[in-house]
């Protein structure tokens, strides 16, 4: 066994795990260990925030923390080593393997080192597929580093770097009409790792126009950033020194603005809302209803021994009313399968509850909510809300929702036009309950009134079906005894 192999087995690297839901990066929120601390297999070492939730990561090794590769607040690509552990600290000093660049972690063809961590357990062994080294093109001489830098600068529209003072042999100038993609083999597409391809796509850069500087002709992050840098202004046209005077009455607001990177839950929410708003044709209907009887029932349930220790509030009865209405109109509980051009009708209801958290809006759901009793529903609703506020909601808790309730009434808002959670058929907005004049038994009285709004996917739910669904929710809240007669 060579010294390098022994070191690799002794110093084990723990990589940012793949959540298994298509996420490519995560932000390190907090480290629970520091270099020199002893860790055991399965011990939580850090908390990270993905685009869906904050998750604590256990480490699959026992030993002493040798190095933390990234600090708190840093966003790291999935597959990148974030911590190194000395699994045999009593063996004395040894040479520690150097940390690999972040962009190389996604496709690293390294020898497998034990289990590869995912957020739930430890995944399957990595593929043994190897990438063949790129062969140089016949008749094309390898370019020295200065020539590569000059060509890359020309491709990026910038002036080439100054030549060294030492005389060099004249190089053959590339033909002006040669395409930028000539630096890439004609037989295949440019070589780049998935995070680098995503970066290029986000920046609007064509990988075929980039001259690779990585090993085996791989395009690196630095190459993409260099290609995205705007060209320098010509020396003969310098910017004017004098600054134009501000227009009368204008105010410079730059000093009073803050810019915050879009990431984590906020980024995922933005992408989901845009996708939903421009994919599913939304229809929103409204109804105002007298919920005085429901509010009285809430107070009675708080005194019921069967509900002792449970969280009883109006949202609980709204959720139950929604479930009863869906039971009467099961066609509204469906999903649109665009790929297969099918409508998927679901014989279960995973009821989502929109929750505002310090990290942004998330929508965990109660699995198979329609089959639960009122005490069971109250228990799960309370757990769901408290877990969300603590930022501990798991990605699994937010997957598979069918319909959602958003309680905008807690903010004193009458109602709204909620946007569907992607993949769901309907979302019910529950507005504030207020004392209002209302005709009750032929007389105008002060009654507790609220407004409900139901948004639904018009591909799945016709106007008649949506109207009946909303009317039934209102009917249950108006006369909650229908929970028994209809339920």
Our CA dihedral for 302, 306, 307, 308, rounded to 10 degrees, sits at 90
For residues 358 and 391, the answer to whether their CB atoms sit within 8 Å is yes
For residues 53 and 265, the answer to whether their CB atoms sit within 8 Å is yes
What residues contact 371, with CB distance under 8 A and at least 6 apart? 348
Backbone angles phi, psi at 456, to 5 degrees: -140, 160
Catalytic residue among 66, 225, 329, 458: 458
Backbone angles phi, psi at 337, to 5 degrees: -100, 95
Distance of alpha carbon 166 from alpha carbon 171, whole angstroms: 14
> What are the start-end ranges of the H helices in 204-331?
221-228, 264-277, 292-302, 314-328
Residue 458 annotated in active site:
yes
**Cβ burial 461-471 (10 Å sphere, 16+ → b, else e):** beeeebbbbbb
328: tokens are: 């009467």
**Which CA distances in Å does 452 have to 237, 284, 364, 475?**
62, 10, 21, 12
Give catalytic residues, as residue numbers: 458
């Amino acid at each position: 066994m060579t010294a390098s192999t022994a070191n690799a087995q002794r110093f084990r690297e723990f990589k940012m795990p793949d959540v298994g839901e298509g996420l490519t990066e995560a932000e390190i929120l907090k480290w629970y260990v520091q270099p020199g601390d002893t860790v055991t297999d399965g011990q939580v070492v850090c908390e990270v925030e993905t685009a869906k939730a904050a998750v604590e990561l256990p480490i699959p090794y026992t030993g002493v923390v040798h190095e933390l590769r990234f600090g708190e607040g840093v966003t790291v690509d999935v597959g990148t080593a974030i911590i190194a552990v000395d699994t045999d600290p009593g063996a004395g000093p040894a040479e520690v393997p150097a940390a690999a660049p972040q962009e190389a972690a996604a496709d690293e063809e390294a020898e497998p080192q034990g289990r590869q961590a995912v957020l739930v357990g430890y995944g399957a062994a990595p593929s043994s597929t190897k990438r063949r080294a790129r062969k140089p093109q016949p008749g094309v001489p390898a370019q020295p580093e200065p020539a590569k830098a000059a060509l890359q600068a020309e491709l990026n529209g910038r002036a080439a770097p100054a030549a060294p003072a030492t005389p060099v042999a004249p190089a053959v100038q590339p033909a002006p009409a040669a395409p930028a993609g000539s630096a890439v083999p004609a037989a295949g597409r440019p070589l780049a790792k998935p995070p680098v391809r995503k970066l290029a796509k986000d920046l609007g850069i064509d990988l075929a126009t980039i001259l690779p500087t990585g090993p085996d002709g791989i395009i690196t992050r630095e190459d993409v950033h260099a290609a995205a840098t705007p060209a320098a202004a010509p020396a003969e046209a310098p910017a004017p020194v004098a600054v134009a005077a501000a227009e009368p009455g204008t105010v410079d607001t730059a000093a009073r603005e803050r810019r915050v990177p879009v990431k984590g839950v906020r980024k995922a929410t933005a992408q989901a809302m845009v996708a939903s708003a421009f994919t599913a044709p939304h229809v929103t209907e409204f109804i105002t209803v007298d919920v005085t009887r429901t509010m009285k029932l809430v107070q009675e349930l708080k005194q019921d021994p069967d509900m002792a220790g449970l969280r009883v509030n109006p949202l609980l009865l709204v959720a139950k009313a929604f479930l009863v209405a869906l039971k009467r109109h099961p066609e509204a509980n469906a999903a649109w399968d665009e790929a297969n051009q099918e409508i998927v009708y679901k014989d279960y209801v995973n009821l989502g509850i929109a929750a505002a958290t310090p990290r942004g809006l998330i929508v965990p759901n109660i699995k198979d909510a329609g089959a639960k009793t009122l005490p069971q529903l109250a228990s799960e609703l309370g757990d769901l809300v408290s877990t969300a506020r603590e930022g501990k909601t798991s990605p699994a808790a937010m997957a598979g929702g069918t319909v959602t309730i958003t309680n905008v009434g807690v903010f004193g808002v009458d109602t709204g036009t909620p946007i569907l959670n992607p993949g769901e058929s309907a979302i019910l907005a529950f507005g504030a309950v207020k004392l209002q004049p209302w005709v009750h038994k032929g007389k105008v009285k002060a009654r507790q009134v609220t407004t409900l709004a139901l948004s639904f996917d018009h591909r799945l739910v016709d106007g008649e079906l949506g109207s009946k669904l909303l009317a039934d929710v209102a009917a249950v809240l108006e006369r909650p005894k229908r929970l028994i007669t209809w339920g």
